């Protein structure tokens, strides 16, 4: 391609605030070349001419040209000028004129893999994205953050930072988590939940979803069937489907997961996800007989049980049932929990406890998928647990949450019994409020959310099981005074919806 003899016109856009002259010149000329405003072979104005035109030092222009030459955008030498460099070579020097003509390149867009398409088609965005969570009442997945012992946490953090170098906290850390934290978790779960394990069986993660993702990758092939509580936590359903699993909804009743129904639907499923201590969202605890039935099924089918113990230490029960894992005699239960609700969600620390026979496989998988989890936060949490602060905090939070649950119960039963019937509170921090027959719980959710009240519609938490309309309320992060006023407001919303539906029916 011949080079243009006469210099081209160089039009630069205004310099952005904060950009240096050198960076501005370099970026503008480079973008003009990349975007095709300066064509291959075009002769650039001289450095003196650019310096005069834009009132900058010639040395700055020379430095910008040097950068462009070094990166292959322009070429030139003293006395001959600077030219836009040819970016591609012709396939043949003797090609036709049409071949030599500059053509618009064909762009082939990268395609998603089958796994990528599944992930993209099963999102689980925050339902309150773009809203200030402090303005929303009854928001799930949040703790009473104002009650967190920040001074204690800050002192421990400062202490860990002072001795960080000596304690090797600035190094990579261990693949499955800081040994001190793993030991603290093993001791705490053994004491409070009856879990039987060694520190080597504990794997630190960012939370329950990452824990399940790792287990599912190791256990499941595409098309394998998984038992999932129906209704249940929708993030888990979407994660499993995104991984290619066939999710089998298993109904839940007052005794928990119906194992007989699960066996009829998919006897040879590879995995079962359960929340036995506090079923989400109904709040029932799995009975002892159902626990034994589930363990027996897993042993006979060669399946794993993923136990999500998310709210076991925060509910109303004075003596919650011990973890399902404590009954396991065949190594078929993976116990999982998270510190997001116990402490605060941005901590992003959770863990799972794996049967001994899977320790090597899990360690190998972690070494590939996420080699080193953050270390400093683990060190702070380890000391927070081992120094007894965790147990003190849990005791205070149980008292606080008990008061808020009772306030919600009393407000609903006294103020809005005509439009909401609360289910009995057995465990956990969520309450199901049954709505009048025929009311659309999604419509009720949308109307309440528009007024900063978050109540999850039960119909969005089911897989294929029809249930009466209901809303799930989460009072943990809302103070008593706000709970009472919001319940009154919710009553007005529900009565308006009921009145509108009745008017339509009578028309």
421-422 β-sheet, strand order: 421-422, 431-434, 470-473, 456-457
Q: Are 430 and 454 in contact (CB under 8 A)?
A: no
Domain boundary among 368, 387, 406: 387
| Most confidently predicted of 1-10, 34-43, 320-329 | 320-329
For residue 428, is pLDDT > 60?
A: yes
Please list the residues that pair with 253 across neighbouring strands: 256
Confidence tier at 103 by pLDDT (50, 70, 90): low
Are the C-beta atoms of 137 and 471 separated by less than 8 Å?
Answer: no
Residues 302 and 164 in one domain: yes
Task: Write out pLDDT tens, residues 366-406.
Answer: 999 888 888 999 999 999 999 999 999 999 999 999 999 99
- Residues 406, 318: one domain? no
Beta bridge partner(s), residue 75: 83
Assess whether pLDDT exceeds 90 at residue 86. no
Q: Are 275 and 233 in contact (CB under 8 A)?
A: yes
Q: Flag whether 208 is in a domain.
A: yes
Q: Is the pLDDT of residue 225 over 80?
A: yes
Distances (CA, A) of 60 to 48, 50, 167: 11, 10, 48
Residue 408 resides in a domain: yes
Bridge partners for 453 per DSSP: 137
Domain boundary among 88, 104, 132: 88
pLDDT for residue 96: 42
Higher pLDDT, 210 or 143: 210
The CATH number assigned to the domain holding 45 equals 1.10.10.10
Q: Are residues 77 and 183 in the same domain?
A: no
- To 10 degrees, what angle do helices 376-386 and 179-193 make? 40
Query: Among positive and negative, which fits the CA dihedral 314, 320, 324, 325?
Result: positive
Looking at the fold, whether 52 and 154 belong to one and the same domain comes out as no
What local confidence, expressed as pLDDT, does residue 89 receive? 41
Q: Which residues is 250 bridged to in the sheet?
A: 229
For residues 313 and 455, state if they share a domain.
Answer: no
Q: Are 310 and 338 in contact (CB under 8 A)?
A: yes
- 257 or 16: which carries more pLDDT confidence? 257
Do the beta carbons of residue 337 and residue 212 sit within 8 Å?
A: no
DSSP 325: G
Enumerate residues 6+ apart whose C-beta is below 8 A from 29: 10, 12, 38, 44, 64, 68, 73, 74
Report d(CA 8, CA 46) in Å as an integer: 10
Please give the Cα distance from 291 to 244 (Å, whole number). Answer: 27
Per-residue pLDDT band at 4 (split at 50, 70, 90): low
382 and 400: one domain? no
Distance of alpha carbon 388 from the chain centroid:
29
Residue 284 lies in a domain: yes
- What global pTM score does this model have? 0.83
Give bridge partners of residue 272 from the DSSP assignment: 227, 305
Residue 212 vs residues 16, 217, 274, 302: alpha-carbon distances, Å? 47, 8, 12, 18
Domain residues for 46? 1-88
Cite the beta strand spans of 157-260 per DSSP E: 202-205, 225-230, 246-253, 256-257
Cβ proximity of 38 and 29 under 8 Å? yes
Under 8 Å between Cβ of 461 and 127: no
Residue 31 within a domain: yes
Spatial distance between the Cα atoms of 276 and 289, rounded to a whole number of angstroms = 12
Contacts of 35 (CB under 8 A, 6+ apart): none
Query: What local confidence, expressed as pLDDT, does residue 270 receive?
Result: 97
Residues 167 and 313 in one domain: yes
The torsion region of residue 138 among left (phi > 0), alpha (psi -120 to 50) and beta comes to left
Asked whether residue 178 falls in the same domain as residue 263, the answer is yes
357 shares its domain with 441: no
- CA distance to 265, 285, 288, 323, 501, per residue, from 192 (Å): 35, 17, 18, 9, 49
pLDDT at 34: 86
Q: Would you state the pLDDT for residue 16?
A: 86
Are the CB atoms for 317 and 426 separated by under 8 Å? Answer: yes
What backbone torsions phi and psi does residue 172 show, to the nearest 5 degrees? -65, -35
Domain annotation covers residue 109: no
Look-up of token digits 């001190």: 180
- C-alpha–C-alpha distance, residues 33 and 40, integer Å: 8
Q: Report how far residue 257's alpha carbon sits from residue 290's, in angstroms, rounded to the nearest whole number.
A: 7
Q: What percentage of the chain carries pLDDT values higher than 70?
A: 91
Write out pLDDT tens, residues 486-507. 999 999 999 999 886 655 555 5
78, 40 Cβ separation under 8 angstroms:
no
Q: Structurally, how many domains does the chain consist of?
A: 3
- What is the length of the chain? 507
Q: Residue 331: pLDDT above 90?
A: yes
Last residue of a domain, one of 330, 364, 387: 387
Please write the tens of the pLDDT for every residue from 155-202.
999 999 998 888 788 888 899 999 999 999 999 999 999 999 999 999
| 65 pLDDT higher than 70 | yes
Segment 195-200 long-range contacts (CB within 8 Å, at least 24 positions apart): 195/323, 195/325, 195/326, 195/335, 195/353, 196/325, 196/326, 197/325, 197/335, 197/353, 198/356, 200/359
Residue 457 bridge partners (DSSP): 471
Other CB atoms within 10 A of residue 290 CB? 22
- The answer as to whether 227 is a domain residue is yes
User: Could you tell me if 317 and 228 lie in one domain?
Assistant: yes
Q: What is the mean pLDDT of the chain?
A: 89
């Amino acid at each position: 391609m011949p080079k243009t003899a006469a210099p081209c016109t160089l039009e630069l856009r205004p310099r952005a605030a904060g950009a240096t002259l050198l960076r501005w010149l370099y970026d503008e000329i480079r973008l003009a070349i990349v975007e095709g405003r300066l064509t291959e072979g075009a002769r650039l104005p001289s450095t003196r001419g650019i310096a005069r035109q834009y009132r900058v030092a010639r040395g700055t222009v020379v430095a910008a040209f040097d950068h462009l030459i070094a990166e292959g955008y322009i070429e030139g030498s003293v006395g001959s000028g600077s030219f836009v460099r040819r970016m591609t070579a012709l396939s043949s020097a003797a090609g036709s004129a049409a071949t030599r003509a500059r053509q618009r390149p064909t762009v082939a867009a990268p395609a998603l893999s089958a796994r990528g398409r599944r992930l993209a088609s099963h999102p689980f965005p925050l339902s309150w994205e773009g809203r200030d969570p402090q303005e929303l009442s009854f928001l799930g997945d949040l703790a009473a953050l104002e009650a967190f012992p920040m001074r204690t946490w800050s002192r421990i953090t400062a202490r860990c930072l002072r001795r960080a170098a000596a304690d090797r906290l600035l190094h990579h850390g261990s693949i499955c988590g800081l040994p001190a934290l793993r030991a603290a978790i093993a001791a705490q779960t053994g004491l409070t939940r009856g879990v039987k394990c060694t520190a080597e069986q504990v794997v630190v993660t960012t939370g329950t979803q990452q824990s399940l993702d790792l287990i599912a990758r190791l256990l499941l092939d595409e098309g394998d069937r998984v038992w999932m509580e129906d209704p249940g936590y929708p993030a888990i359903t979407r994660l499993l489907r995104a991984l290619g699993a066939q999710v089998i909804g298993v109904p839940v009743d007052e005794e928990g997961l119906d194992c007989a129904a699960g066996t009829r639907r998919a006897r040879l499923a590879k995995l079962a996800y359960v929340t036995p201590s506090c079923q989400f969202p109904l709040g029932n605890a799995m009975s002892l007989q159902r626990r034994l039935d589930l363990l027996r099924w897993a042993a006979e089918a060669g399946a794993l049980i993923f136990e999500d113990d998310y709210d076991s230490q925060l509910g109303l029960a004075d003596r919650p049932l011990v973890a399902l894992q404590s009954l396991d005699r065949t190594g078929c239960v993976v116990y999982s929990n998270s510190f997001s609700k116990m402490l605060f969600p941005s901590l992003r620390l959770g863990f799972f406890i794996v049967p001994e026979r899977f320790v090597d496989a899990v360690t190998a998988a972690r070494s590939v998928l996420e080699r080193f989890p953050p270390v400093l936060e683990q060190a702070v949490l380890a000391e927070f647990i081992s120094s007894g602060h965790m147990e003190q905090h849990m005791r205070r939070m149980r008292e606080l949450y008990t008061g808020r649950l009772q306030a919600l119960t009393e407000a609903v039963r006294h103020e809005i019994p005509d439009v909401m019937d609360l289910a009995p509170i057995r465990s956990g921090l969520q309450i199901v409020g049954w709505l009048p027959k025929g009311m659309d719980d999604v419509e009720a959710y949308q109307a309440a959310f528009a007024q900063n009240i978050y109540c999850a519609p039960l119909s969005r938490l089911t897989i294929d099981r029809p249930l009466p309309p209901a809303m799930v309320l989460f009072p943990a992060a809302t103070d008593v005074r706000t709970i009472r006023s919001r319940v009154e407001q919710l009553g007005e919303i529900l009565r308006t919806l009921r009145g509108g539906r009745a008017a339509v029916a009578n028309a």
